[in-house]
Structure formats: C-alpha cells, structure tokens
Amino acid sequence: MDCSILRKKFNESLFDIYNSEELNIIFYIVMQNLTNKSKLELMTSNYKLGNVKEKIFYEYVNRLSNYEPIQYILGNTIFNNLEFDLDNSVLIPRPETEELVDLIIKHECKKEKILDIGSGSGCIAIALAKYILRSNVTALEICPNAVKIINKNASKNNVEIDIICEDLFTFQSKSTFDLIVSNPPYIVYSQKYKISKNVLNFEPHHALFVNDNDPLIFYKVILNFSKNNLNVDGNIFFEINDIFHHEMIQLVSKYQNFSYKLIKDFHGKKRFMILKKNT
C-alpha cells in the first residue's frame, strides 16, 4: 500500500487522540522507522510498504490508538541529536530536559566531574559526556533495569561513564563533584488528573510523581548531599516544577552558601534552577 493511503488511514484511526501536528510528527517517525528513508524522501516520493511492513504499520497504529507512546513502541528516541534505547522502566526524555542539557553545556562553569542523579535512560549523563570534552560523568540510578539501559546507551553513543545503582536516600560517597544535575520526580500525586493517558498509563510512576506532603524531598536530599560532595564554586542544575518555584527559592535560601537563579523554559515556565556553591 502506498504512503498516501497509509497516511489517510493513519489520520482516520488516530485523529481523536492526537492533534494534526502530533499526527504529522508521529506518522513520519513511523514511516522512517519502517522504510529507512529520510523525512524529505518520504514527503517527495510516494513510497510503498510491502505486506510484512504494512502489517507492522497497523500494529503500530493499534498500539498508538491505546495511547502507547511511539517511543516505547519503537524502543528508542532522539535526545540532543543522540539516539537512546528505552522501555517503560524509564521516562521518555522531554524537550525541556534537552534545554537543561544545553544550559549546562553553554554555562561558563567548571564541569570536569559531573554527577547525574536519577539518571533513567542516561540521556543527561551521556549527552554531557558526549558534548563536554574531558568530563568525567557519573550516573546515579536506583532501578537495575534502568542501569542496563544506561549501559547500553553509553555503548551505543561511544561514551564512558561511571554508573552507580543505589538509592539516593541512602547514597554516600567520598567523591566530590564540580557539577550535580538532577531532573527528579516533581509532579505531586494530586496533579495526576492533569496528566495525559499516554504518560499516566505507560511511563513509570516512581520517576514521575512525588508525595504531596513533601514535594521537594528529592531537592532537599540533593542539597544536603552537596554540603560535602559539591566543590566550592561548583554548580547544581535542577529541573523543577514551575508551580513550586517559590517553595524552591525558600528551600535554597536556607543554604546560605548557595546563590541561585531561575530560568524559564521555551513555554515560559520557571523550569530550571542553577545554584552555585560559594563557600
């Protein structure tokens, strides 16, 4: 069946789940995966799928109709121009987190020794190791299956990082770091009703949600860890929940040796906090 007919059936099957822009993006992701052709080639020629790949196409459509994210269906995604394998034991990397990585890369600070806390698929740690020369990156992750994915992604992207499989809440280290980065769980459970089905039904809740009674718990633990494990003039880069940015300011203000600034994401939300340890 040729591409134009497949496109029509694709849109008809999924129009009540995805908007037209999302349908366009996902359709070309699917077709690129099945044909190994570029988006430009697919747009300028009417490619056909054979019977086997057409069957796979409709399997993808069926899974998409059940709100399963295309990244989990294909088992990979692109993050900061690098390819990462993933499954539903790790979060799908978001564009906001790409912004976080870009901020770190461009920021004028010492980043020889970097610790990524709650590494998931390893996207932050691996991107930093790939793009920051002479960096020594450590990824801390509690989930054993995620650690396997980090190892696989590091090998896939030809970088060497240290990986520690431990719980942040009990983690102790004699190492010190120039830079600590974390995108911890920051959605409170009371916000679950706002979360779309493709996230709520498929992505790991332990990596998304935090208890309402202490929504900043991960940031508190990381700040306490930094007392002994972040070098003077070192930096912490946090991705945060915009609705708690005032609370984050209050929290950081309790640590007199830190200065900070908030940065908005491309949606205009206060999404990132950069801290500097002064003494």
Average pLDDT of the residues in 254-258? 90
Residue 37 has pLDDT above 80, yes or no: yes
With bands split at pLDDT 50, 70 and 90, how would you rate the model's confidence at 238?
very high
Average pLDDT of the residues in 247-258? 94
Residue 244 CA to residue 238 CA, distance in Å, equals 13
Residue 110 CA to residue 177 CA, distance in Å, equals 10
pLDDT at 4: 83
Residue 192 has pLDDT above 90, yes or no: yes
pLDDT at 39: 85
DSSP summary character for residue 120: T
pLDDT at 96: 97
pLDDT at 41: 87
pLDDT at 38: 86
| 71 alpha-carbon distance from chain centroid | 12
Average pLDDT of the residues in 114-134? 97
C-alpha dist (Å) from residue 151 to 134, 135, 138, 162, 232: 20, 17, 12, 9, 30
Q: What percent of the chain has pLDDT over 70?
A: 100
Decide the pairing of beta strands 82-85 and 76-79.
antiparallel
pLDDT at 56: 96
pLDDT at 3: 79
pLDDT at 8: 92
With bands split at pLDDT 50, 70 and 90, how would you rate the model's confidence at 40?
confident
Enclosing H/E stretch for 42: helix 39-44
Of 200, 240, 199, the C-alpha closest to 220 is 240
With bands split at pLDDT 50, 70 and 90, how would you rate the model's confidence at 46?
confident
Residue 157 CA to residue 149 CA, distance in Å, equals 12
Residue 2 has pLDDT above 80, yes or no: no
Residue 222 CA to residue 117 CA, distance in Å, equals 8
CB 229 within 8 A of CB 178: no
pLDDT at 256: 84
With bands split at pLDDT 50, 70 and 90, how would you rate the model's confidence at 25?
very high
Q: Is the pTM of this model over 0.85?
A: yes
Neighbours of 147 (CB within 10 A): 19
Helix (H) and strand (E) counts for the chain?
11, 11
Lowest mean pLDDT among 87-91, 192-196, 274-278: 192-196
Question: Which has the higher per-residue pLDDT, 133 or 39?
Answer: 133
Would you say how long the chain is, in residues?
Answer: 279
* Average pLDDT for the chain: 95
Average pLDDT of the residues in 76-88? 96
Average pLDDT of the residues in 89-95? 97
Beta bridge pairs of residue 182: 117, 238
CB 238 within 8 A of CB 275: yes
The position carrying tokens 């109709």 is 65
Residue 239 CA to residue 65 CA, distance in Å, equals 31
Lowest mean pLDDT among 31-40, 132-141, 236-245, 263-272: 31-40
pLDDT at 246: 97
CB 188 within 8 A of CB 212: yes
Average pLDDT of the residues in 193-218? 96
pLDDT at 44: 84
Residue 43 has pLDDT above 90, yes or no: no
pLDDT at 121: 98
| 97 alpha-carbon distance from chain centroid | 5
